[in-house]
Structure 1
Amino acid sequence: MRTKLFASLLALPLFGAALIASAQTSPVGRWKTYDEETGKPRLIVEVYEAKGGTIAAKVVDTLFAPDAKCDACTGAAKGKPMKGMVIVWNLKPDGASAWDSGTVLKLSNGKTYKSKAELVDGGKKLNVYGCVSFICKHQEWTRE
């Protein structure tokens, strides 16, 4: 009995380490985004698993203005609060730590772009790309 208890106690840290490691291979969670020009924190974004195993992201907090609205957006999103707005959708798994074939909404200009994403730095950072044709720009998000 004592041997089983001792073995169980030894296994707990290993089990915990395995859980932490697996969490770092998924983009699901909260991320901080940064202003492209100033480098200052801009948004807190929640990445979540959506229908069909795809990945999506929505704004949960605006750090630059609490009641910020998407004035640059068009259509039904024009003038709507950024909080709660889905800004990435339909990313499909493309390997162990990459996702592709999605769409990203750039709030500063209201335009949508083809998107892909990849976890870097052991899962501490998420590079989110917006692409026009074969030209892509990325923004680095940091895990909260």
Structure 2
Amino acid sequence: MKRSLFALGFVAFSGLAWAQLTPEGLWRNIDDKTGEAKAEIRIAATPSGALHGRIERALIQSAEPNCTACTDDRKGQPKVGLEIIRGAKKSPDDLVWEGGKILDPENGKEYTLRMTPIEDGKKLQVRGYIGPFYRTQVWVRVQ
């Protein structure tokens, strides 16, 4: 009986630990230049398994509430509710999500995306690339 309870507890704990090693959830993005929390972004899976993310809440008021710098279907849309992550997929090593795009709604630029959960899933390293140049932010999971 003790063994089965231990095994059940281990399986339940393992599931909780694994669940945190995914970008899915609510994140507070921290500006890499100022160190300030700017917004909360909800990352979720699409039916195909790719991840997308939307700005759920602004923590700092922007001078421009709409994405006027965007050049695609998001042009002129409100930043709150804006889809900024599209198409990220889990890599074969199961530790990184990549292949998607991330939008910076302040300048309208879209970057190739790479997301890596760190610190047991409590933080998310978000890196956007254009060619050899990149910018990295570390987002914090909202509990």
Superposition TM-score tier, normalisation by shorter sequence: 0.7 to 0.9
Match of 2:114 in 1: 116
Match of 1:25 in 2: 21
| Distance (Å, rounded) in 2 between the aligned partners of 1:25 and 1:88 | 18
For 1:19, what is the secondary structure of its paired residue? helix
Match of 1:86 in 2: 83
TM score, norm. by length of structure 2: 0.84
1:16 equivalent to 2:18? Answer no
Offset of residue 122 of structure 1: 1.3
Gaps of 5+ in 2: none
Distance 1:99 1:71, change over 3 A: same
The answer to whether the 8 A contact 1:29-1:143 is kept is yes
**Superposition pairs of residues 64-79 of structure 1, within 5 angstroms:** 64-65=60-61, 68-79=65-76
Offset of residue 9 of structure 1: 5.1
Gaps of 5+ in 1: none
Offset of residue 28 of structure 1: 0.8
Offset of residue 111 of structure 1: 0.8
**What percentage of aligned pairs have identical amino acids?**
29
Offset of residue 128 of structure 1: 1.2
**Superposition pairs of residues 91-106 of structure 1, within 5 angstroms:** 91-94=88-91, 95-106=93-104
Match of 1:125 in 2: 123
Q: CA RMSD in A?
A: 2.2
Deviations 1:56-98 (A, max 9, x none): 1111111112893223223442332111111011112112210
Offset of residue 130 of structure 1: 1.0
Runs of 4+ in structure 1 displaced over 4 angstroms? 6-12
Match of 2:41 in 1: 45
The answer to whether the 8 A contact 2:41-2:57 is kept is yes
The answer to whether the 8 A contact 1:25-1:96 is kept is no
Equivalent position amino acid for 1:106 in 2: D
TM score, norm. by length of structure 1: 0.84
For 1:123, what is the secondary structure of its paired residue? coil
